[in-house]
Amino acid sequence: MRWLTVLLLFFLFVPMGAMAAEQSVAVTFDDLPFAAVPREDDAYLSAMTRKLMDGLRESSVPVVGFVNEKKLYVNGKIDQDRIELLRTWVQAGFDLGNHTYSHFSIDKISLEMFESDFLNGEIVSRQLMKESGRPLRWFRHPYLDVGKSNEEIVEFHNFLTARGYTIAPVTINSSEWIFAIAYVKAQGDMIMAQQIGEAYISYMNDVFAWAEKMTIGLFGRPIPQVLLLHANSLNADYFVQLAAMIRKRGYRFVTLDEALKDPVYFKSLHVTGEDGESWLERWSREAGLRPPRPPSVPRFVLQRAGHVASSMDRDY
């Protein structure tokens, strides 16, 4: 019977998630219809969007795309071609989400102004989702800033709930946007662009390892992660390689709905944390821990991007 005693002790003291050790990730894209591209003419944006959609389909990855509706306007007038870019996401079967109209931080303006900007940011997206027979139901905070106080966090959460929204968390964030700027500036230099793209995949591998280590330290088991990316030319060209790297790490891709079924996402988020921090980092602070330093962006990428601040700056 010794084996039974050992087995019982195993079940009692080893977390269930650690036994299964299955890793999954939901992929989300911010700043639709586009971010950090070489130029903003509609023909280029359409080609970039189609290429990104092709990569998502080839990799069989479900995503949610978060929209800044201010980007639908050119010279003060709404641009139908840019609305078509969003319709491309919807027709591909992906959900749109509200990322506010102007991408203001809730920490930098009044809650009343933020809620007004939020409402301006759902007009076109809600109609496009309605055309597809689906509701507009996801919201993501710009810069991942959640509010200046617990009272403001609760008040805005109630505002969202009343309008049928669910907050989309982020557990894996990065300085991917710096790579995207560098990649834009390298257009015309194929060798440099390729070096930046390859460095991006290597860097994101390190970011996943960083998030995994933090996750095990907090929960003793894997959790479904939520990855934040941006709709840019870098991901249009390199998403297939990125998805392959993530699968090689043992992940399967899941919907945001499926990821948020994990009870870890029922935890309180009433922790302001630092600017741009992920939910993992906020949970670390809530537990009285100091989040580990994220991976650094290679110096040559920072130089190409013209980024003079810290390599760990993150902008959402």
Listing DSSP states for 45-104 in one string gives HHHHHHHHHHHHHHHT--EEEEE-GGGGEETTEE-HHHHHHHHHHHHTTPEEEE--SS--
Q: Minimum mean pLDDT among 14-28, 49-63, 281-295: which range?
A: 14-28
Average pLDDT over residues 226-239: 97
Residue 175 lies in a domain: yes
- Measure the CA–CA gap between 276 and 174, rounded to whole angstroms: 10
pLDDT in tens, 94-145: 999 999 999 999 999 999 999 999 999 999 999 999 999 999 999 999 999 9
Residue 13 lies in a domain: no
pLDDT in tens, 165-185: 999 999 999 999 999 999 999
Residue 242 lies in a domain: yes
Residue 193 lies in a domain: yes
Q: Would the pLDDT of 268 be above 80? A: no
- Measure the CA–CA gap between 20 and 102, rounded to whole angstroms: 42
pTM (2 d.p.): 0.89
Supply the mean pLDDT for the chain.
89
What is the chain's alpha carbon radius of gyration, rounded to the nearest angstrom? 20
**174: DSSP letter:** -
Number of folded domains in the chain? 1
Residue 146: count other Cβ atoms within 10 Å of its Cβ. 24
Residue 261: count other Cβ atoms within 10 Å of its Cβ. 11
Burial class of residue 199 (count of CB atoms within 10 Å of its CB; 0-12, 13-18, 19+): middle
Q: Would the pLDDT of 10 be above 80? A: no
Residue 314 lies in a domain: no
Domain interval for residue 87:
22-305
Confidence of residue 13 (pLDDT cuts 50, 70, 90): very low
pLDDT in tens, 40-63: 788 999 999 999 999 999 999 999
Confidence at residue 71, expressed as pLDDT on a 0 to 100 scale: 95
Confidence at residue 249, expressed as pLDDT on a 0 to 100 scale: 98
Q: Minimum mean pLDDT among 37-46, 206-215, 257-266: which range?
A: 37-46
Q: Minimum mean pLDDT among 4-13, 33-42, 132-141, 152-161: which range?
A: 4-13
Residue 112 lies in a domain: yes
Confidence at residue 184, expressed as pLDDT on a 0 to 100 scale: 93
Residue 6 lies in a domain: no
CATH number of the domain encompassing residue 97 = 3.20.20.370
Residue 315 lies in a domain: no
